[in-house]
Every structure is written in C-alpha cells, then in structure tokens.
Amino acid sequence: MVQLPSLPRLDPRKWFTKQYWYLETPPASYATHDGWSNADVDVVPYDQRNWRAINYLFLWLADGANVGTMQQAGSIVAFGLSWKEASVAIALGNIIIAAVVTLNGAIGSRHHIPFSIASRASMGFYFSYFAVVSRMVLGLIYFGINTYIGASCMLIMLDAIWPSFRSYPNSIPESAGVTSNKLIAYAVFWILQFPLVLIHPRKMRWLFFIKSMAAIIAAFAMLGWAVKNAGGGGPIFRQKPKVEGSARSWAWVAGLNIAISGKTTLAINMPDLTRYARTPGVTYWQMLFVPIVYWVFSFIGIVIASAGQEIYGTLYWDPTSIIALWTNRAGAFFTAFAFGLATLGTNISTNSIASSNDFAFIAPKWLNIRRGAFITAMLGGWATCPWEIQASAQSLSTFLSGYIIVLGPIVSIMIVDYWVIHRTHLHVPMLYQNEGMYRYRGGLNWRALATLIIVVPINLPGLMHAINSNVYIGNLAYFYKASWLTSFFMAAGVFYALSTLFPPQSTLLDKTVESLEGEEAYPVSAFDQSQTASWAEKEPENKRDSSGSSPPHDGPSHVLRA
C-alpha cells in the first residue's frame, strides 16, 4: 500500500513571532545584511526578465481602455472647446507623457531595479524615501477611488442579475456619501479584485492580456450600438467652441495639462514594471503605444457620449451611466463586466503595483511585494473611505489631482539626473549601500531638495485658488492651468543648472557598473567612446576585488558592506 506524504504541521503560535515574518536579505543582494533589501527590491534575476513589447502593449490597453479615459475628453470639452480641439490636446498631451514614461522607464529596463532604488541616484539614499512615500500615499488613495469606480460597474451587473437590487433599502445615512446597494457592490468588487492584486507583477502578463481584450471588445461594441441608435455621431460633433480669444487658448492649455497629468503617477513608478523587460528596447515601443491607445479610447468616449445625448436627451460622459439605462440586461451585464475588468487593470498597474513595491522598499525586513499588496488592498480599499472622497466637496478631489505639482518635479529630476547628469551610467551595487556613493551628504542630494523648494511653491497659489475660489491670486490662476508643464520643465531647468554648477563628482561614472566586479551592461560607445575608466579606477578607496573580474552575471560574487 502506497503511503501518502504527511501534510506539514501547522503551528499558529509561530504566526505571532518576529522570526515568522522576518524576510532575510537574499544572498545575491548588493545590500548589507541589516535589512536594506529583499528579493523583491533586488535587481531582477535574468530568468525573471520575461516581459516583451507585446506585454507592454497589453499593459497600456488594460490601463487605457477604461471608463476614466473615455471621460477625459468630457473634462476638456467642458472648458468650452470643440471636440477637435479636445482631441488635439489629448493627442499632444499623450505624446509628451509617453516620452516621460519611456525615459523614466528606461532606468528599470536597463538596470532592472524598481523606482524606489532608482530614485536614490537623484534624490540621495534617505531623501528617496520622500519620493517613495509621496507616490505610495497617492497610490493608496487612488486605489480606493478606482475600486469605487469599479463598484459602479459591479452595481450594474448586480442590477442586471437581480433587478430588485436597484431598489434595495438604504440603511446608511445620507451623510456617509454611499448607499447600501452601492456599498454591497463595492465589497463584491473588492473581494473579486483582492486575489488578483496579490499576483506578482512578473506574472501579470496574462492578466493584462485578458483585461485588454475584454475592454476593447466592449468599447467597440458600445461604439457600434451608439452610432447605430443615434444615426450618427450626435450633437457634440456639430458643437462649436464656446470660448474665444485668450480664454480659448488657456482652456486648451488646461486641457493639455489634464491629458498629461493623469498618467504622471504611473510614469514616476514605471521602473517597477519595466524592470521585468527582456531587453531595454522592448520598452521603447511605449512611445507609440501610449498616444495611440489613449487617443483612440478618448475619441470613442466622445462618440459614445455624443450619441448618448442624441438617444437619451442628456449628456453622459461616464459610459456606465449610459449602460445603467439599458433595458437589455445581458448586454448591460457583459459590457459593465468588461469595463469593470478594465478598471481593475488600471487599479493594479497604476496603484497596486506601485504601492506594493513602495511598501517592500520602506520595510524590506518585513514586507515583500505580496505583503505590500495585502496592505494596499486593506488600507487603500477601506481605510481611505473612497465614497467619502467622491461625495466630499470638490476641494479634496482638486487637492489630490493638484498633488501633481510635487510628483511632476520628482520625475523630472529623475530623468534629467539619469540621462543628462549621469549620462545613464550608474553603479547599481552602490544604490543598495546606505554608506555608498549615492548617500551624498547626510543621505540627501541637496540639488534635488533645492529644486523642489524652488519649483513646488510656484504652483501653490493656483492650487489654493482651485480648492477655494475665494482665494484671490490674480494672474497666477493662469499659471496653474499649465501646472504640470511649468513644474516639470522648471524642475528640469533648475536641477540641471544646480548639477552643472555644483556637479556631484563622486557619483559621475564613465561607464555603467552592474556588478561588484565592475562590468558594464551597455556599451560606453553609445554615449562617450573616449572614456573607459570605471568608478573603481577614479575612487581608489573603493577598489575592485583583488581576484579580478569574472564573466558577467546577474548578482555579485560577494556582498560589499558599508
């Protein structure tokens, strides 16, 4: 008789010990063994770099083919612009942000490090925590908001299955900003989303593929339904601009700003996704993917909203509001399901992955990406109370969207530092060393701090006026209409000037160092053929191992301690 293997014995008492939850720094880590890294913060091993160009296309399709993208054009048309002017603003805005995504994402695809580690090169070892926490907090809040948007799709699905659910008795006070049936829909969506959030990013390729296909089918099916029933595009395509002169120009600039700023949160943590790329080149296709995907689905949103106005007599920029009016329950269910799936994809790619990586970076002794995803789902899903944010005064939503005046300069600093100041040459092992070359002075790069101190306050009056219109700021209100453009490009100029006048000599290398032996991952000739000396040769006190160099590999042969 064959004896079956015995199951491991469970000992719940271990769950309450520090040793059970402690994460050992892996042997391949560049970090010292005092808790500065774990397997999810380390350089991605070669065998786990499995993302191709097509996977990044599906990522952007899953992120772009959603309700928010289709509503974006409505926000711009509301300024008084025509649909053509709104379309041009969306196209140009996405070309600009595609460049930002690609340039910042290249840090991850070339060195296979997360955003948190990459930020140390420009911000300093300890000041990088400011950038990480800033992105993480916003990610938690928007995780809840996107889950709440997904709950709108779930509510339609539940209504389609049980029509009586729409009239479910409400026992929640009106001040809470949510009804009983909407809260139930929110809980159902959160429960279905939860196990998918826990999937490791390197295994999410298939998930983005499924979600992108479902969203594309639903969007084009809804587009066909709208045009057929409206007998054309609808009244928006016959609408002329409602503003003229300088007001029209500033309205267009504000529309351009909206088109760019919505994706800055993903642009800043793009290395968290590009670090899994097989080669750096596969991520450069994003320059093409991003503008096409977002322009196409924004245009679809315009057509559906315009045709919906022709059919129902009311302008609905939110496609789920139109779906909720359908009498065809099956059509409403499957379309809402597809858009809910797309919203889930956006939530994972834009918020969950970012916050999970940030948690793993902040507490690498105790948190990896999976545990970070669990915390993100709990805090972002429930502690933020997104229904209160949605129901609150416009001031809170304005503040959240206005936080871009901080994130914009951060991503600008990272791009200028990597491509211009350091000329793409990083010493990757030193990024993991708390006493290494990227510590700068006191753990911060004062050039980055000075840039933020100079640039961020410039847009604060505009943000205050946007939150409370009673605050008079004169012509500075126009300056804020271009808040992303001003903060990003001013930060680039200020940081470049400071780094040129006061260059960080100890961090300037002649080639990229990917391992402790000093091998370069990419040809120096692509940037500076005349310089071949390594950082180890420039800094005698940081000599290479006496045994000499070894064949290229993905991890160090020993751990360099601070």
Give residue-wise pLDDT tens across range 481-514.
Answer: 999 999 999 999 999 999 999 999 999 999 999 8
Contact criterion met (CB below 8 Å) for 320 and 67: yes
The predicted model scores a pTM of: 0.87
The region of weakest confidence among 16-25, 66-75, 443-452 is 16-25
Contact criterion met (CB below 8 Å) for 37 and 30: yes
* Full set of structural domains in the chain with CATH: 49-541 (1.10.4160.10)
- pLDDT score at 105: 98
- 3 state DSSP class of 295: helix
Output the CA–CA distances (angstroms, integers) from residue 154 to 65, 192, 320, 343, in the order listed. Answer: 17, 10, 10, 11
pLDDT band at 535 (very low <50, low <70, confident <90, very high): very low
pLDDT band at 37 (very low <50, low <70, confident <90, very high): confident
Cα(47)–Cα(524) distance, integer angstroms? 25
Q: Residue range 142-169: average pLDDT?
A: 94
Q: Count the Cβ atoms, other than its own, within 10 Å of residue 121.
A: 27
Of 98, 92, 115, 110, which is closest to residue 63 (Cα–Cα)? 98
Q: Residue range 79-99: average pLDDT?
A: 96
Output the CA–CA distances (angstroms, integers) from residue 112 to 272, 430, 554, in the order listed. Answer: 9, 14, 10
pLDDT band at 26 (very low <50, low <70, confident <90, very high): low
- Could you report the per-residue pLDDT of 224-261, keeping only the tens digit for each? 999 999 999 999 999 899 999 999 999 999 999 999 98
Cα(458)–Cα(272) distance, integer angstroms? 30
